[in-house]
Amino acid sequence: MVIFFVAPSLLLFSYSFWTASSFRIVPDFVLTNYLSSIQSLLFLKVTLNALLIGLVTATVSVLLSLPIAYYLTYVTRSKLIFYLILITWFSSYLVRIYAWRTLLGTNGLLNAALLQLGIISTPIEAFLFSPFAVGVTLVHIYLPFAVLMVISAMSEIKKELIEASRDLGTSPIGAFMRVVAPNAAQGLIGAFMLTFILAASDYVTPQMVGGSSGQTTGLLIADQFRKTGNWPLGAAQAFIMFALSILIYLIITALARASGLTRSRKSTTILTQDK
């Protein structure tokens, strides 16, 4: 972790205070990179777009992963669906993107099915190069990550606890909200944040299926490193996104505590002592 994560991150953080001139990095200590990024309307626009894409993808992925993980953990003993989820990782990332481009295109399967059913008379071009296409593709790509994390969280909850709550008269939804959700809350938050970070930082998928609506901060950062050679500005923008991700994590954690899904360490310690 120190060699491959901490050290590179500290180096990149130091770059964010330097300056660039004619594709040369000049060691310095200025706040210009951060100030220019915050004051840039383009950066604010694409950052908001990236956050929106990440939040929508993470929310949908976690919601879809809940019934899948519950079924695999408590209902069936078969590992077939679990293995099918793992097999999806054997397919190329780009192949899956191109597959959705084919499905959502004017000559794609979705338009063809709607035409055959008589629902539409002409192909709908809005399916592709739209926020809808970006969301569907990203959910397909990152759903397995959310499923595996939610399965890991639920596997630590004994089935007997759910059965006991049902015997006490709790409905299936009540048993999930009172037993499963509180005990798996940290795993759910972890699944949400992992999916959010991966989706919000993705710039390949929005480019290929999102069109003009798919520009994200990741693309701007990549351009600073690849095209303009302004590594300090790209580093500053990367750490702004890092700070926003931490802020979103703190907000979600606070909401989980306010709703009673999770408890603070202090209250958990007091409850344990009382027991």
In this structure, the strands spanning 24-26 and 19-21 are antiparallel
Higher pLDDT, 143 or 79: 143
pLDDT in tens, 44-55: 999 999 999 999
| Exposure on the CB side of residue 133, measured as CA atoms within 13 A | 31
* pLDDT exceeds 90 at position 86: no
Task: Measure the CA dihedral 39/41/47/49, to 10°.
Answer: 160
Q: Which two tokens stand for residue 190?
A: 């972890």
Q: Which two tokens stand for residue 33?
A: 């990179």
* pLDDT exceeds 90 at position 127: no
Angstrom distances, CA of residue 59 to CA of 139, 189, 196 = 9, 10, 8
**Residue range 185-205: mean pLDDT, rounded:** 92
| Residue 76, pLDDT score | 87
Question: In Å, how far from its chain's centre is CA 82?
Answer: 21
| Residue 245, pLDDT score | 94
Percent of the chain with pLDDT over 90: 45
| Residue 7, pLDDT score | 94
| Residue 69, pLDDT score | 93
| Residue 162, pLDDT score | 87
The whole-chain average pLDDT of the chain stands at 87
| Residue 264, pLDDT score | 54
pLDDT in tens, 205-260: 988 888 776 778 888 898 898 888 899 999 999 999 999 999 999 999 999 888 87
Confidence of residue 199 (pLDDT cuts 50, 70, 90): very high
**Residue range 16-43: mean pLDDT, rounded:** 90
**Residue range 72-93: mean pLDDT, rounded:** 85
| Residue 272, pLDDT score | 40
| Residue 15, pLDDT score | 92
Confidence of residue 181 (pLDDT cuts 50, 70, 90): confident
| Residue 129, pLDDT score | 84
* pLDDT exceeds 70 at position 273: no
Distance CA 232, CA 34 (A): 9
